[in-house]
A and B are shown apart, each in its own frame.
Chain A
Amino acid sequence: MSYIAKPSAHHPALPKNALGLTRRDYEGTMSTLCAGCGHDSITAALIEACFEMDLPAHRIAKVSGIGCSSKAPTYFLSRSHGFNSVHGRMPSITTGANLANRDLVYIGVSGDGDTASIGLGQFCHAIRRRVNMTYIVMNNGCYGLTKGQFSATNDKTSPSKKGDANPFEAIDLCQMAIQLGAGFVARSFSGDKAQLIPLIKAAISYWGFAFLDVVSPCVTFNNHPTSTKSYDYVRAHNMAVDRLDFVEEKEEITADYAEGTSVSVTMHDGARLVLHKLDQQHDPRDADAAIMAIRSNAAKGRVATGLLYIDETQQDMHDILATDARPLNALPISELCPGAKALEAINGRLR
């Protein structure tokens, strides 16, 4: 039953984007996650973001690891190639795929077990290499697919559904990402579409490593009244540090903010972000301030959300490695194989 095709018939009146595609063209197969799962809302936000950005779906590659979150890429962008790899290794697969073809958009989807435990090393090193990708963690604080064990992002104050205490401190992936040099670090909530969609758009247009940690309640195992990753808790403690308007290159900036409260950032592809500061202390270009915002809110039991940090000057892996502007997978063999004559010269040097 696990593969459920959706009927491909479209209502003729569905709105179309600049490519003449409807939202339906950006969908995937029917979700098999639990009803109400936060991951499905993130999936919907991804579909909406790609639709509104007029992205050609076949130029996107979806890569994931193992777990509930990593199943999600089947539920969006059925016209994109996807790769559901092994547990915690999405970053290395994406690194290799990106090395092979720098021209595609890479969306990595992972979970808190996949990223903060088994894949922590790969997460760190993908950031360090500045892989040009959008890395989304669907963060529910538990291992859903194996029935609710604590993950490494679960808050120490947040017991299990059965009431077992969590003895260990949580790993904060956003703080780690900032420290490791991710150029775009944001946190959001699966239930806050208005914040999530522009963040996804901005992350996709960002040149370099963009990290998006999305708190996404597990309705089955981690949505109880004492959980800090439940719908109710996050709604009550969501502290947005800024509000983001994502403005595509062709659009006019229409939002009008008071002097000194907004920051305009031009992205690599010409799109602009207009950040409306909600927390006057927060400067998204200041890594230390971003970490402070996360920590001071956490100390008060609050979740700092929004675009926490951005470095507009980041170089990506290909810039650093000085690879050719063309995708490596498109180079003709004639440029790659030096041929018999060059080999004779090499033989000569070995004599």
Chain B
Amino acid sequence: MSGINDFVVKFATVNGSGSASANGIFAKTLFRMGIPVSPKNVFPSNIQGLPTWYEVRVSEAGYLARREGIDLMVAMNPQTFKEDLAEVAAGGWLLYDSTLPRVWPREDIAIIGVPIAEMCAARWQDTRQRQLFKNMVYVGALAALLDMDVEVLKGAVADQLKGKEKLVAANMEAVALGREYALKHFDCPLPIRLRHADGAKGKILVSGNDAAGLGAIYAGATVCAWYPITPSTSLAEAFERHARRLRVTKDGRRLYGIVQAEDELAAIGVAIGGGWNGARSFTATSGPGISLMSEFLGLAYFAEVPVVLFNIQRGGPSTGMPTRTQQSDIISCAYASHGDTKHVLLFPANPTECFALGAQAFDLAERLQTPVIVMSDLDIGMNEWVTEPFLWNDAHVHDRGKVLSAEELEKFKELKGKDWGRYQDVDADAIPYRTLPGTHPTKGAFFTRGTSHDENARYTEDGRVHARVLDRIRRKFDTAQTLVPKPEVSIRDKSGKTGLIYFGATTPAVREALDLLEREGVKLNALRLRAFPFTREVASFCAMHERVFVVEQNRDAQMRSLLMTEAEIPGAKLIPALNYDGMPLTAAFVRGAVLHRLQPAKAAAE
């Protein structure tokens, strides 16, 4: 099935060796040739010396999920030679540094030996240079073997080395060494090769964390507090990088405040303090951070303080697999904190949505006066995706919610027919009016508290009042349902009885699987969730179908549970399709899960 503009290259290297930069240049070159690519970093929780892999799928058809069956392995790490060799598909290729020649015990693949270390040793004296340029030599060999456009490659190198222009020539020299060696010794290009295409034209190549940080800038966020944790760290760092470019006045004053907190407990506390005081505030975390932030999330829920939390999910439970991906915080985020709590969740499916939903999260948080959690994950957050460009409508009015000015406080009774009280449901949408500290000399002050309170924010131990306030906050979720982004429904068969629900990073794998299945005569209708609470479309989609697959990356079918509990979908109807090995999902997995249920004989035969 592999061929021109349709194959997978995998780089097996050692982390800390400079390979990441060379691999990034490789992917960027393909992207700039107009070819859809999806690089996936499979990296250890470590800084130097452990195995790391970089998979690049090339698909002119635009299928950008991870795909197994490696066509070309660049095996640069002796620690993993054995498993890397085993992963190459029959008929594929393995490129290695043949300075120390070795026998590769497989007859069904072609071995490409390039004496990379020897070539670098002959050309450079400095040991660091010898090491770093090895990476560019294999990129050069690939340029010949895959027929990369060398001019485009040079542009990608120049971009990567912006500010270090002197190094461009040396890097290109390394590329030339590898390329000339391959042209001289092998039959170039290979049957799997590249050609200019249009599939990636107009798109951008960016990570979800970079996009979400930018979304927070566009939302007007001014307070960011965070604690370093993989894989969310790069989101806060992206916000800071964008802010330095976009949010500094001519005289050098910053229109933002960032606190790298002492822990996640403080990070969310700072964000809540900022939200309480009227600044758009957020934090970013993952896994363990969600557990630590839960107490504060309950306070923000009950005291009705807007705050945005980006959860870049990783492999759990506990410390789990910090550098692998999962969607396993669905339940813990939907109901984070003790007592009756429930939170608005958004599920971006790619970096473009990390930007758009990331910005929208702030509007929702301020409108609803509650935490909004953006549920990204490591795959979207840290990998670079070929995605639609970011869009912003200058006519968009940021929804700052119901915040009263001094004048509005003065006229409140006149306008609304009753006195202001912090938790009074005046508009019958269950959303009260809030005031910010410092607004009015005599009106609007109140005491924000996590203890039970009445409609005027006064402490209460009266059970009836407590229940009444809890009921109103629950009704706020009905309002939320009318505001959150609707799911994306695709109907392949109007009278079809089988549906499939999915969300987030599994999107490319699911879409590819649905295409594969359709070609085999199995047509599934699909719904991509974009938010919790579930909007009406979710229940009606389930009602339309006899059975609905729920594809998710966790062991316990958490989204399925949420659908059963919150949308009241009968469990018998919802068929779990679960992946939790920490790797980005493949179309083959989704197809297999569907066929296993619908055509067990065929699935078994395969």
Contact = CB atoms under 8 A, between A and B. Distances in A.
Contacts of B278: 100-101, 329
Interface in B439-469: 439-442, 445-451, 458-461
Nearest to B446: A81
B334 to A, nearest CB: 21
Contacts of B564: none
A94 B273 contact: yes
Nearest to A61: B437
A250 to B, nearest CB: 21
B27 to A, nearest CB: 13
A118 to B, nearest CB: 10
Nearest to B270: A96
Interface stretch (A158-166, A261-269, A337-345): A337-345
B459 A96 contact: no
User: Chain A at the B interface: mostly helix, strand, loop or mixed?
Assistant: helix
Contact of B440 (A58, A74, A342): A58
Interface in A75-104: 78-86, 89, 91-101, 103-104
Contact of A73 (B255, B265, B266, B447): B447
B254 A85 contact: no
Nearest to A343: B392
Contacts of A89: 265-266, 269, 296
A92 B392 contact: no
Interface string A317-351: 11001111100110101011111101100110011
A329 B277 contact: yes
A181 interface: no
Interface stretch (B3-11, B42-50, B70-78, B212-220): B212-220
B277 A96 contact: yes
Contacts of A340: 391-394
A337 B218 contact: yes
A224 interface: no
A333 B438 CA distance: 20
Contacts of A96: 223, 225, 259, 269-277, 281
A329 B279 contact: yes
B271 A329 contact: no
Greatest chain A CB density within 10 A among B390, B391, B447, B458 is at B447
A84 B450 contact: yes
B259 A100 contact: no
B438 A103 contact: yes
Nearest to B202: A351
A254 interface: no
A125 B261 contact: yes
Contact of A338 (B222, B246, B436, B445): B246
A148 interface: no
Contacts of B438: 58-59, 61, 81, 101, 103-104
Contact of B259 (A2, A79, A97, A129): A129
A3 B446 CA distance: 13
A333 B460 CA distance: 38
Nearest to A60: B437
B263 interface: yes
Greatest chain B CB density within 10 A among A73, A81, A322, A323 is at A81
A337 B262 contact: no
A43 B434 CA distance: 27
B435 interface: yes
A121 interface: yes
Contact of B255 (A93, A94, A336, A343): A336
B253 A85 contact: no
A350 B159 CA distance: 11
A3 B461 CA distance: 10
Contacts of B219: 337
Contacts of B247: 336
Given A324-B255, A336-B220, A350-B205, A95 B450 contact: no
B273 A100 contact: yes
A80 B446 CA distance: 7
A174 B333 CA distance: 39
B257 A321 contact: yes
A301 interface: no
B463 to A, nearest CB: 14
A86 B296 CA distance: 7
B398 A333 contact: yes
B279 A328 contact: yes
Contacts of A95: 225, 259, 266, 269-270, 273
A125 B205 CA distance: 38
25 contacts: A57-B441, A57-B445, A58-B437, A58-B438, A58-B439, A82-B448, A86-B299, A89-B266, A91-B266, A92-B225, A92-B273, A93-B273, A96-B275, A101-B279, A124-B262, A321-B258, A323-B254, A324-B249, A324-B253, A324-B255, A325-B253, A331-B222, A335-B255, A337-B220, A350-B206
Interface of A: 2-3, 56-59, 61, 63, 73-74, 78-86, 89, 91-101, 103-104, 121-122, 124-125, 129, 317-318, 321-325, 328-329, 331, 333, 335-340, 342-343, 346-347, 350-351
Given A328-B223, A329-B278, 15 more contacts: A2-B461, A58-B441, A58-B442, A80-B437, A81-B438, A91-B269, A93-B270, A101-B437, A125-B261, A322-B254, A323-B257, A328-B274, A331-B222, A336-B217, A337-B219
Interface of B: 32, 203-206, 214, 217-223, 225, 246-247, 249, 252-259, 261-263, 265-279, 281, 295-296, 299, 389-394, 398, 435-442, 445-451, 458-461
